[in-house]
Chain A
């Protein structure tokens, strides 16, 4: 082997260190859970009162959002990838737009329109001469159904993104084979394409479900009694942080169980692409009514999840415009961008190191470590922030104590309450996003490629640089973008961990939105959306261009021709 022994260990060691660091805040939460103060028992109270309701509501929310996002995400991905219909080119990227919209913002906007006092019901009352709410029925937006709709609208892009990438990366050969063997196009979708795309869809879905479980803003505003609301109630109202940590730990175990059981269910399956024969996807032409139907399926989520709320935010922003505030917001936008770029970049570098060491070094220990490192995503942001503080605070204080003792100098707090703390928090929280995406990209590359490169004398680093990186460029970009957009929207960790006099767009929006002053918050909320859109659009171009045969210089022009022929 060309790899020196030390480097091989270097992969293992650095991965172990990174994973250990990433897991400490989660471990701190579990530790808090295990060390309650006397008299802090909340379980007998919770079990006899609200816990059953928390569980039923949470499961209902997860099922609703899960079904909604998979239906929209997978069908849209399949339509824009495999079919040709009017507007397809636009929907390719437009389907991703709602991703830039924070769930709590869309919840505020829709409540404004749809609640009893809003314009829609007001108009209906005027039209039909109804006097009070007792004269007619109208769906209550502040309800479980409302929460499901809001979250589905902004979270389906995760499923869309990952299932589209999966569909794009499938060799058309397997679909052709199914057709040759007598399957119709629909049958081919359900029996071949869908099962092959399963890892991608599942990763997308699990991201969606974890976001759903941890959402606080939307369920709090809608008064939907989920588990995460319970966590905050125990923490803030019963002043029992240990009890909150216990609930969070239960949530964590539940998520871990879900993820493990899915992995177990497909333990024997591998999803490498074995064929290098990529052809342009043929593109099933949908005409007339079918084309219209496809268009509607794609257009509705974008309209409801992005266009309409953005429009309303713009109206508010214009109405409430204040040049002084605008320049202030520009500064916060810059803070948000810097911080999100930093976290996005770091999260991807870390994910590549972890995913690659697992690939080349394998082994149960490394694999489990990498799973543990992703747990941060399953803990509500504010609780995880407490975990981060419980790591950094004692660390800072022991460095300080040591330095006082040995050098007589106080170092004070080095990490706590700094940008580094916020970045660390983001990393811990969003590593699952980058790691999942990078792993998925890496997993599709058959190990035979590694074998070939290594036997031609390339070391691990060189193989990664020259073989894997070009092949998984899209995955890497996806990972950066996912983390970037999520950091732009991130609220609880930023508020709790940030330094003095530091605002991001999200924290700025929150101070008004928490007071239901949507007008004052509109411009900053729009900025979150605006900044978030750019990478989303960039990414979708990259994905569209990435297929087929990434990095094959020779093959590229030929396929480009075919692509354009296909779409003509």
Chain B
């Protein structure tokens, strides 16, 4: 009895797996309807959903999305001209730049976009468009760091900051871009020296994310941290983890290099793929994302700086005051990323 039951079990298992296989081939996606737009995004679904939902409501166009942090470029490349993706959405100029270099993007233009997005935040031929900005700033402890003690990125590497700085991995895309901007500003040798001295000033081995650095300042492990602006807003309003409000309260934001080249800003942006079938819809989506209502959602839910002029900042973001952004052309910074990444290795930044 038992024996035959067991045998049946195994047969059932095999049959079941075959049955599931056949269903799997039909259980896919139908992302090719007429009023669709297909999106590959490195931005999290929880961030994009309010925006895409609003877009669908306004236009009736359904947004299909794959969220992928790595491998987007390779996926577009191997899918070739048959790729279903109409547009990509990604953070950091480096990502946009790599897709451009790989020949995966096509130029689109519209008066609306040209009017809304400042020229330094879009590709001259419309191959990509910046949608939001974030500044990489210095978080300084309110009491332990005296006013004027640190005003530039260069000060992070100064002798008086020894053992007082916290920063995430030097290889994180945000820090590589920051270092690339230092390469543009100071030259390769200058950037290397800066990175080397900064490393010697670190209170601990680079680790955690930007938020964790502010936490470390709050806890007294270090006095200053480097981070993107929107984390401050996220911490200051975190109702679910109220302890983060205390972290935020313990620091003030310093926009570096206000007296000279300005603070390093990066963008999140969108681009239309070369293979886009729903090019018109893709353009509509980019236009929507740069519209006042979408820019407001970005500003309010993710504390980013809108690229569109005249959109109200989140009150918390506004409270940090206005700042002067580094005007160096972003694509130029992107070209130095590979070198910056090597510099991180050369000075053993993460060790």
Chain A interface (Cβ within 8 Å of chain B)?
A: 45-46, 49-50, 53, 116-117, 131-133, 142, 221-223, 225, 229, 232-233, 235-241, 319-320, 338, 341-342, 344-346, 348-349, 382, 385-386, 389-390, 392-394, 396-397, 400, 410, 412-413, 416-420, 423, 465, 469-470, 473, 476, 480, 492, 495-496, 498-503, 507, 511-512, 514-516, 519-520, 551, 553, 556
- With both chains docked as a complex, state the minimum distance between the C-beta of B11 and any C-beta of chain A, in angstroms: 9
CB-based contact A236/B25 at 8 Å: no
CB-based contact A400/B82 at 8 Å: yes
- With both chains docked as a complex, state the minimum distance between the C-beta of A161 and any C-beta of chain B, in angstroms: 19
Secondary structure call for the A interface:
helix
Partner of A502, one of B13, B17, B29: B29
- With both chains docked as a complex, state the minimum distance between the C-beta of A423 and any C-beta of chain B, in angstroms: 6
Please name all residues of chain B whose beta carbon is closer than 8 Å to the beta carbon of A553 when the two chains form the complex: 1-3
Please name all residues of chain A whose beta carbon is closer than 8 Å to the beta carbon of B13 when the two chains form the complex: 345, 348, 476, 480
Task: Report the separation of the CA atoms of residues A109 and B35 in the bound assembly, to the nearest whole angstrom.
Answer: 43
- With both chains docked as a complex, state the minimum distance between the C-beta of A113 and any C-beta of chain B, in angstroms: 14
Q: Does B67 reach chain A (CB closer than 8 Å)?
A: yes
CB-based contact B20/A49 at 8 Å: no
Per-residue CB contact flags for chain B residues 173-191 toward chain A (1 = under 8 Å, else 0) read 1001000000000000000
Minimum CB distance partner of B11 in chain A: A465
Known contacts A495-B70, A496-B75; is-contact A117 B219 (Cβ 8 Å): yes
Minimum CB distance partner of B175 in chain A: A237
Give the number of residues in B that approach A within 8 Å (Cβ atoms).
74
Please name all residues of chain A whose beta carbon is closer than 8 Å to the beta carbon of B173 when the two chains form the complex: 236-237
CB-based contact B240/A238 at 8 Å: no
Q: Does B158 reach chain A (CB closer than 8 Å)?
A: no
Task: Report the separation of the CA atoms of residues A139 and B83 in the bound assembly, to the nearest whole angstrom.
Answer: 49
Which of B104-112, B132-140, B312-320, B338-346 forms part of the interface with chain A? B338-346
CB-based contact B80/A393 at 8 Å: yes
Known contacts A412-B82, A495-B67, A496-B68; is-contact A225 B350 (Cβ 8 Å): yes
Partner of A232, one of B70, B209, B351: B70
23 contacts between A and B (CB under 8 A): A116-B221, A117-B216, A221-B208, A237-B173, A237-B338, A319-B240, A338-B27, A348-B13, A382-B71, A389-B75, A396-B82, A412-B84, A413-B82, A413-B83, A416-B78, A416-B82, A473-B6, A476-B10, A492-B70, A500-B38, A501-B31, A501-B66, A551-B6
6 A-B pairs closest in CB distance = A345-B17, A393-B78, A500-B64, A496-B71, A237-B341, A49-B345
Please name all residues of chain A whose beta carbon is closer than 8 Å to the beta carbon of B45 when the two chains form the complex: 503, 511
- With both chains docked as a complex, state the minimum distance between the C-beta of A547 and any C-beta of chain B, in angstroms: 15
- With both chains docked as a complex, state the minimum distance between the C-beta of A438 and any C-beta of chain B, in angstroms: 12
Please name all residues of chain A whose beta carbon is closer than 8 Å to the beta carbon of B66 when the two chains form the complex: 417, 498-502
Q: Does B126 reach chain A (CB closer than 8 Å)?
A: no
Partner of B31, one of A132, A341, A496, A500: A500
Q: Does B331 reach chain A (CB closer than 8 Å)?
A: no
Minimum CB distance partner of B349 in chain A: A50
Please name all residues of chain A whose beta carbon is closer than 8 Å to the beta carbon of B78 when the two chains form the complex: 389-390, 392-394, 416
Q: Does B309 reach chain A (CB closer than 8 Å)?
A: no
Task: Report the separation of the CA atoms of residues A511 and B68 in the bound assembly, to the nearest whole angstrom.
Answer: 9
Known contacts A117-B216, A416-B79; is-contact A500 B348 (Cβ 8 Å): no
Task: Report the separation of the CA atoms of residues A108 and B45 in the bound assembly, to the nearest whole angstrom.
Answer: 21
Known contacts A389-B78, A397-B80, A419-B28; is-contact A515 B209 (Cβ 8 Å): yes
- With both chains docked as a complex, state the minimum distance between the C-beta of B110 and any C-beta of chain A, in angstroms: 25
- With both chains docked as a complex, state the minimum distance between the C-beta of A425 and any C-beta of chain B, in angstroms: 11
- With both chains docked as a complex, state the minimum distance between the C-beta of A359 and any C-beta of chain B, in angstroms: 18
Task: Report the separation of the CA atoms of residues A189 and B53 in the bound assembly, to the nearest whole angstrom.
Answer: 64
Please name all residues of chain A whose beta carbon is closer than 8 Å to the beta carbon of B171 when the two chains form the complex: 229, 233, 237
Task: Report the separation of the CA atoms of residues A50 and B211 in the bound assembly, to the nearest whole angstrom.
Answer: 27
Partner of B24, one of A45, A342, A382: A342
Known contacts A142-B205, A345-B17, A392-B78; is-contact A419 B67 (Cβ 8 Å): no
Minimum CB distance partner of A322 in chain B: B240
Minimum CB distance partner of A499 in chain B: B29
CB-based contact A132/B221 at 8 Å: yes
CB-based contact A500/B84 at 8 Å: yes
Please name all residues of chain B whose beta carbon is closer than 8 Å to the beta carbon of A237 when the two chains form the complex: 171, 173, 176, 337-338, 341
Task: Report the separation of the CA atoms of residues A133 and B216 in the bound assembly, to the nearest whole angstrom.
Answer: 11
- With both chains docked as a complex, state the minimum distance between the C-beta of A98 and any C-beta of chain B, in angstroms: 24
CB-based contact A345/B20 at 8 Å: yes
Supplied contacts A237-B341, A511-B46, 17 more A-B pairs, CB within 8 Å = A49-B345, A49-B346, A116-B219, A236-B70, A237-B337, A237-B338, A390-B78, A412-B32, A412-B82, A419-B28, A470-B6, A495-B70, A496-B68, A496-B74, A500-B64, A501-B65, A514-B69
Minimum CB distance partner of A473 in chain B: B6
Q: Does B249 reach chain A (CB closer than 8 Å)?
A: no
Minimum CB distance partner of A345 in chain B: B17
Minimum CB distance partner of A122 in chain B: B219
- With both chains docked as a complex, state the minimum distance between the C-beta of A31 and any C-beta of chain B, in angstroms: 12
Minimum CB distance partner of B346 in chain A: A49
CB-based contact A389/B74 at 8 Å: yes
Minimum CB distance partner of B44 in chain A: A511
Known contacts A236-B173, A237-B338, A382-B70; is-contact A551 B3 (Cβ 8 Å): yes
Q: Does B7 reach chain A (CB closer than 8 Å)?
A: yes
Task: Report the separation of the CA atoms of residues A417 and B31 in the bound assembly, to the nearest whole angstrom.
Answer: 11
